[in-house]
Structure 1
């Protein structure tokens, strides 16, 4: 290794001291100035002490310069075996940079023997690249070298497997860690792995386990758990977490408060979302405003969402791209076509936000829902960005809604090119064929799905009662109280008939007898969920249901009447929006 000649040692010590001093407020300009001073004093970059502190300073920057760090590291290479510290520092910089693959490339060169800090940045790089195979090789290598039992290596592996969709592998690594050996990062990594893979039930299980061993969560933990409750529609569980948050004082954390707004909005409890927003006071951020705007829009309170956006503007806050998606969504779901175009123009002119495909898709939806399907098509073919599958799918949905067969076929052809095999597109086209009475084409399309092995996403509904979440699928008889549920369904059907209910059999995508269609409609998953909820909950208690698909028109009519006949508030969150049924009417005003 290079040694500083005696006359340069004072300069070396001075430069190292300066680098340490500037660590309190690191800057690239300061690092370069100190580096230049060292070179002018005759201290080479290859001196291990200078390189070590220079790299440490670079790593402390908000956006460490990878090219500069690699250049410093390269000056050390000709001078004998490399110490792990500078290499690990550069690996850490590379793993967090826009070019994480550089970390893996450096590791392949075997520039130094690995130590306890070598594997976490490498595994992090694999997680960012979703490079599962390379990550598994690093897992095996860390085990071979005796580092796999280190908590920070295990945490990285949990994150890697979660990022790559292997939440079971992530949980296996987590389970192999001694309970007392886990740190906060361990718990948060496991929670995030489940949350990222759509496993809200497991998120909640791990959270209660965490509290059971007296491990205090932080804001990141709570955000993960509240997000899981929101996705699961688990309002009662979310309220329990909220009570805990207030008890330990985490409610002052803006990220936690924003997650609470999102929770209540996604569970259809808009008043609670508003209350959290108001209680934040001066702690409100753009994310807070955006969360409530999007929540109001999704719950059918489009005008209130737009009023809130106007208030946000008066507060001189600058909306983000996501804020504008919420504003356009509100216009779309309330039929405010002219307002939608006005906000779209203002987005560009007043805030300099270049339209993204999400904004353009909202405009297509805005026109399509309003029945202006031909205009929606013209908008697509003239839009400045290449329309993606979501945009064409939106048009196909509008065609099915308004019986526009020829344009629907055009949208279908584009979808076959862009996203072949998407089951939802087959369902939309089936809806269109059925709406115009083309039953033979419905049957041909179903045969094509079987031949091409396209599996339809099965509809299911969730309902939360007494801190437990119950799931139902169409015609489900797996529940231990199935007999009582179906008896309740029969009672509901009879009471609705007395109110003048006539089933919309056009919502059944099969050319079968009317009586069979009525039976099929009565066994939809949301009907089973509402029957179970009416059986098991006290009178007057609101019922909340989440459905993974769009609610059919017949169930919408039925739920309107159920809310009146049984005097219940019913909140349904389907794939596209919320429906608040009360007193025989829905918040969407049948515009959905």
Structure 2
């Protein structure tokens, strides 16, 4: 297939009509309007000149003025001009639809298309690509398929830009088979059509197919690279995202805002601070501070890497702080154990008249959960609908059930689930099961598991949690029976692993792992730490090894948990004053939590462990969670 190396928006011919015969004054005004860097105040002066010269009803000049108003970032003014057009024509509608799409006002663009049809105008090859783009972004498959039928009747189905719009529409609406069929029918393809297919596959989590298409591209632009990097990151493949980012670097392709967000998100997921800082150096600091999207990505990266001080510094320097930026810092503070500060920040947010949204309250409720502040949690949850007119989402209920369950208020948590306006999902029931584990409520745990088995029949975590509750209560027979049923059904327990970043590489460890090149030194370091721990009176918390074997065997198993291996490796490879950062895919067990507190005292190190629930900052024998997690 031939490849047209250009973007649809940039190569589509101008939808303005040609107007060869203009007066000298009109020519001067036209030339002024074609200057895309013309300030908006000058545009208004030009409009005034048109009025004085009696040219304000000239459809050609008015169309240019509408276009220039959109380009200058004033869509409301452009629409006002359109409304004053006495006899709008197809070119006016095309300019308005294109301008609204550029202004990210997709529903309005679709409405203008319907208005255009009602007024008897037939769309052309300039109309269809932009209205299809609007339908894809909303997404509105129903309208998009109707437009598809209209363009077939109009004979525009072979136009490369129209066909690219269709590929994008069906890809973004999850109709990948239709998108692929249309793509395969294209005799001429461009980078945009290739990228549309890639985006469709990444959205559906089919990264292997997306990569196959990506590798088949003759020419890749920054958008196609960004689609793959963002796809890997959002589909739980952060290592692959960063590997591709550095391949992009090797190809001398400069990243844009979207690329940076995808790469920084991957660093955040890995907790890879060093890599995150390396990625951030591809743009000037001023770019982050003046762009809320980039700034949010950088704040989120620092927060999830456990460097809240740097996240706070970026937040304080932001030139434009929208609600998403405030949410990022509030969520970062809550996950790193600074709940009270996040409450104060929320008060500042309100003082500055930035309206909170449902995501703001997810952060606040998480802060309450991590610190056991039940009354504060109840107050925030109540204020959602009562004060802010926000309907509670499933995430808010999940936070409240988690908060109440951890505090031992299991019956209240159960009642809350029963009173929910929507059907509880696995996350909500799982939060209640976690509370049952902490407080060893077997009867309620068995009831909850029945709900979870219906929702997630293959999720091993639910079975393991109930098995652990049985084991904690000494009911080994029931625990063994449940684990045997898991084996019979082929349900595998999710293996625990931890990773640590070192010199730009991420090192991964599993329990009892001996595959690392430095395994011998790592295990020697663990033995050394074990002796020092025992000298300080440490005794393994064998309750965390929940199977019926001798205590000595349990203790041996605990010594080689993945987070301990990662910490031992980091102690060998880093300088005495360096902070150690470890990420774990599962919840940190109680024994490791106790051991790492003492290791931080023995080594005089700050050790930050991020598990799948929260951050633990160990320093001088204490943890930031205050043993509540």
Band the TM-score falls in, shorter-chain normalisation: 0.7 to 0.9
Select the residue among 489, 512, 517 that pairs with 1:475. Answer: 512
Residue matched to 1:8: none
Is the 8 Å Cα contact of residues 570 and 581 (structure 1) preserved in structure 2? yes
Select the residue among 181, 202, 216 that pairs with 1:176. Answer: 216
Is the 8 Å Cα contact of residues 563 and 569 (structure 1) preserved in structure 2? yes
Residue matched to 2:259: 221
Cα distance, 1:422 vs. partner?
A: 1.9
Select the residue among 136, 144, 160 that pairs with 1:95. Answer: 136
Residue matched to 1:355: 392
Is the 8 Å Cα contact of residues 18 and 34 (structure 1) preserved in structure 2? no
- CA gap of 1:337–1:140, structure 2 versus 1, over 3 A, is same
Select the residue among 505, 510, 514 that pairs with 2:551. Answer: 514
Residue matched to 2:351: 314
Select the residue among 35, 40, 57 that pairs with 2:96. Answer: 57
- CA gap of 1:348–1:198, structure 2 versus 1, over 3 A, is same
Residue matched to 2:174: 130
Deviations 1:414-457 (A, max 9, x none): 21233322222112212211111121122221222222232322
Cα distance, 1:402 vs. partner?
A: 0.9
Cα distance, 1:509 vs. partner?
A: 2.2
1:412 aligns with 2:449: yes
Q: 1:497-576 maps to which residues of 2 (within 5 A)?
A: 497-576=534-613
Is the 8 Å Cα contact of residues 258 and 288 (structure 1) preserved in structure 2? yes
Distance 2:202 2:577 in 1: 41
Residue matched to 1:7: none
Distance 1:503 1:580 in 2: 21
Is the 8 Å Cα contact of residues 82 and 92 (structure 2) preserved in structure 1? no
Residue matched to 1:385: 422
Which range moves more in the overlay, 240-249 or 513-522?
Answer: 240-249
Residue matched to 2:493: 456
Is the 8 Å Cα contact of residues 338 and 367 (structure 2) preserved in structure 1? yes
In structure 1, list runs of 5 or more residues that go unmatched.
1-12, 39-49
Is the 8 Å Cα contact of residues 157 and 170 (structure 1) preserved in structure 2? yes
- CA gap of 1:166–1:76, structure 2 versus 1, over 3 A, is farther
Is the 8 Å Cα contact of residues 97 and 130 (structure 2) preserved in structure 1? no
Residue matched to 2:194: 154
Deviations 1:102-134 (A, max 9, x none): 434554673324222023322222232222222
Residue matched to 1:114: 158
Select the residue among 416, 423, 429 that pairs with 2:460. Answer: 423
Distance 1:240 1:432 in 2: 44
Which range moves more in the overlay, 448-457 or 63-72?
Answer: 63-72
Is the 8 Å Cα contact of residues 59 and 92 (structure 1) preserved in structure 2? no
Deviations 1:368-399 (A, max 9, x none): 11122222112222333332221111000100
Is the 8 Å Cα contact of residues 579 and 608 (structure 2) preserved in structure 1? yes
Distance 1:311 1:90 in 2: 41
Is the 8 Å Cα contact of residues 401 and 413 (structure 2) preserved in structure 1? yes
Cα distance, 1:291 vs. partner?
A: 1.2
Residue matched to 2:33: none
- CA gap of 1:331–1:86, structure 2 versus 1, over 3 A, is closer
Distance 2:387 2:185 in 1: 54
Deviations 1:10-69 (A, max 9, x none): xxx95565445423345696698578846xxxxxxxxxxx44652442343212353663
- CA gap of 1:334–1:483, structure 2 versus 1, over 3 A, is same
Residue matched to 2:248: 210
In structure 2, list runs of 5 or more residues that go unmatched.
1-56
Residue matched to 1:232: 270
Residue matched to 2:239: 201
Select the residue among 278, 293, 298 that pairs with 2:316. Answer: 278
TM-score, normalisation: structure 2: 0.83
1:186 aligns with 2:224: yes
Over the residues paired in the alignment, what is the CA RMSD in angstroms? 2.7
Distance 1:91 1:31 in 2: 24
1:291 aligns with 2:328: yes
Name the SS of the counterpart of 1:215 in structure 2: coil
Cα distance, 1:469 vs. partner?
A: 0.7
Which range moves more in the overlay, 118-127 or 457-466?
Answer: 118-127
Cα distance, 1:174 vs. partner?
A: 2.6
Is the 8 Å Cα contact of residues 500 and 506 (structure 2) preserved in structure 1? yes
Cα distance, 1:526 vs. partner?
A: 0.9
Distance 2:95 2:294 in 1: 32
Distance 1:97 1:308 in 2: 33
Residue matched to 1:165: 205
Distance 1:370 1:89 in 2: 53
Cα distance, 1:553 vs. partner?
A: 0.7
Which range moves more in the overlay, 581-590 or 360-369?
Answer: 360-369
Distance 1:152 1:424 in 2: 42
Name the SS of the counterpart of 2:509 in structure 1: strand
Distance 2:129 2:266 in 1: 35
Cα distance, 1:266 vs. partner?
A: 0.4
Name the SS of the counterpart of 1:544 in structure 2: strand
Cα distance, 1:135 vs. partner?
A: 2.5
Distance 1:348 1:429 in 2: 35
Which range moves more in the overlay, 294-303 or 419-428?
Answer: 419-428
Distance 2:417 2:128 in 1: 51
Which range moves more in the overlay, 569-578 or 119-128?
Answer: 119-128
Residue matched to 1:258: 296
